[in-house]
Amino acid sequence: MQARAFWTIAAGRGEIRTETLPPPAPGTRRIRTLATGISRGTEALVFAGRVPPGQYAAMRAPLMAGDFPFPIKYGYAAVGLAEDARVFVLHPHQDVFDAPAAMCIPVPDAVPTHRAVLAANMETALNIAWDAAALPGERILVVGAGVVGLLTAYLLARIPGCLVTVVDIDPARLAIAQALGYHASLHPPDNQDLVVHASASEAGLRTALAACAFEARIVEASWFGDRAPSLPLGEAFHSRRLRLISSQVGAISPAMRARRSYAERLATALALLADPALDILLEPPTRFEDLPAAMPRLLAGGLCHVVTYEDAGCSV
């Protein structure tokens, strides 16, 4: 059968390509896509061709096609139907595709399709929370009110006694943080026990370092692509005995690695999306057919952009 997929063919340029799917192989399931989500941080770097050559292997998505820098079929937040059951798959933007059955994670009935596209971001936030190992009663700062930052704050705020503050330079994002029930400010408080940096900016990381209390820890959840940020490690970093911890969703946090598989982590992330309050993180949907023209605008701002396939014309 014929399928259509979004490909990035040059820096800032994409197109929809048609491909022929062979009969499903044993152990795979055929998925008719209902919606996909655009992960602005990573997909913006891929779309702009800013993945460093040394990170090509690490940045490969599980079911992508092509090679860095271009052409490449990239993405990892697809919700679709497999034999009338809704599943989430780490697959690029495509109207119908085959995927290994083990990678097709059931979407809970309590999670609507559009909200389910947040699963990849929630999985990242869950891994950050595991890496952070927050303690009850800690003062916690999240720098960067993008989707991952807000979802991380959502999880950490549920630890008893923790006071979670979100800072961002965009007042509109701070309003979303406040709507979700967090403290929000343009100016970070000081003396923080735990700081999660999720702004993907050098200024944000400097803000994170400056807000730390003695022997605090900073969880670096951003990825800078081909940029090399300059950090003030010669100031109070050593005298305050700070710890800088990297967090990346490609590997399960050491705290849980022996007890959770990748599928179990993703299933947990999907279950955590049952809260309707998280719909505030979703931007108005864009049709799949409009993606080549819309992608530059979608990657330039906003939170989680949803791509819909109801009129994509695919059949299984």
Give the Å distances, CA to CA, from 140 to 120, 165, 197.
23, 6, 11
| Domain boundary pick from 219, 246, 273 | 246
Residue 273 lies in a domain: no
Residue 255 lies in a domain: no
pLDDT band per the 50, 70, 90 thresholds, residue 127:
very high
What's the pLDDT tens digit per position in 57-80? 989 999 999 999 999 999 999 999
What pLDDT sits at residue 316?
35
Burial class, 143, CB count within 10 angstroms (exposed 0-12 / middle 13-18 / buried 19+): buried
Tell whether 105 and 136 lie within a shared domain: no
pLDDT band per the 50, 70, 90 thresholds, residue 315:
very low
What's the pLDDT tens digit per position in 164-205? 999 999 999 999 999 999 999 999 999 999 999 999 999 999
What's the pLDDT tens digit per position in 198-251? 999 999 999 999 999 999 999 999 988 777 888 888 878 999 999 999 999 999
Tell whether 110 and 209 lie within a shared domain: no
What's the pLDDT tens digit per position in 248-282? 999 999 999 999 999 999 999 999 999 999 999 99
Tell whether 72 and 179 lie within a shared domain: no
For residue 313, pLDDT beyond 80: no
pTM: 0.94
65: which strand partners? 73
Q: Where are the alpha helices (DSSP H) in the chain?
A: 40-47, 113-116, 119-132, 147-156, 171-179, 202-210, 262-271, 291-300
What's the pLDDT tens digit per position in 292-301? 999 999 999 8
Residue 88 lies in a domain: yes
* The dihedral sign for the CA sequence 208, 211, 213, 214: positive
Residues 209, 182: Cα–Cα separation, whole Å: 21
Residues 93, 90: Cα–Cα separation, whole Å: 10
What CATH number does residue 140 fall under?
3.40.50.720
pLDDT band per the 50, 70, 90 thresholds, residue 283:
very high
Query: Residue 205 sits in which domain range?
Result: 122-246
| Count of CA atoms in the C-beta half-sphere (13 A) of 296 | 8
pLDDT band per the 50, 70, 90 thresholds, residue 314:
very low
Q: Of 281, 272, 289, which Cα lies nearest the Cα of 305?
A: 281
Residue 258 lies in a domain: no
Number of structural domains (the chain) is: 2
Residues 196, 208: Cα–Cα separation, whole Å: 7
Percentage of the residues of the chain whose pLDDT score is greater than 70: 98
For residue 38, pLDDT beyond 90: yes
What pLDDT sits at residue 311?
52
Tell whether 153 and 112 lie within a shared domain: no
Average pLDDT over residues 130-136: 98
